[in-house]
Amino acid sequence: MTTTAMLRAFCDAVEQRNGRAFADLFTEDGVYHDVFYGAFAGRDKIAAMVDDFFYRTATDFRWDMHDPVSNGTTLYARYTFSYKSTLPEANGARAMFEGVAIMTLRDGKIVSYHEVANTAPAFVDLKFAPERIAKIVGKQGAELRARPEMKRHLA
């Protein structure tokens, strides 16, 4: 499968609420590190993340990957991601954010997925109170700062 085809299958599986198809893009021991929900290890948990976690408070997902770059073992792609929130305070608003997907690959499968995303605008779109946004963004910043590979960049 080409990189472009894999990324389209990745996005399509989320948009179609097909956790199994999404998980099949990963190795058996693959890990998806979600910017909101944390790490999901193994295909069963990755499938549940899409089917249960993503769709718990959202619907009508749209995900597009742009400008992929890969050396065969690492893949980077800029993305745009949006969904309609079903949270009461969002009143059906569409949240949108941009980010960068970072994937480690082995034998044409994803071993690990990480992302860096600017989530704050999405929370504004969802009409979250400023105090709630500050708490969420502060937690995400602390988690990012705790990652060993980020320490040299933040020093």
User: Which conformational region is residue 67 in: left (phi greater than 0), alpha (psi within -120 to 50 degrees), or beta?
Assistant: left
pTM: 0.81
Residue 121 has pLDDT above 90, yes or no: no
Contact 97, 117 (CB under 8 A): yes
What is the rounded average pLDDT of the residues 47-59?
Answer: 93
Q: How confident is the model at residue 154 (pLDDT cuts 50, 70, 90)?
A: very low
Instruction: Delimit the domains of the chain by residue range.
Output: 3-147
Question: Which fold would CATH assign to domain 3-147?
Answer: Nuclear Transport Factor 2; Chain: A, (3.10.450)
List pLDDT tens digits, range 1-31: 899 999 999 999 999 999 999 999 999 999 9
Instruction: Give the Cα separation of 60 and 135 in Å (integer).
Output: 26
Tokens of 30: 């693959």
Higher-pLDDT residue of 92, 77: 77
CA angle 145, 147, 148 (to 5 degrees): 115
Residue 75, Ramachandran bin (φ over 0: left; ψ between -120 and 50: alpha; else beta): beta
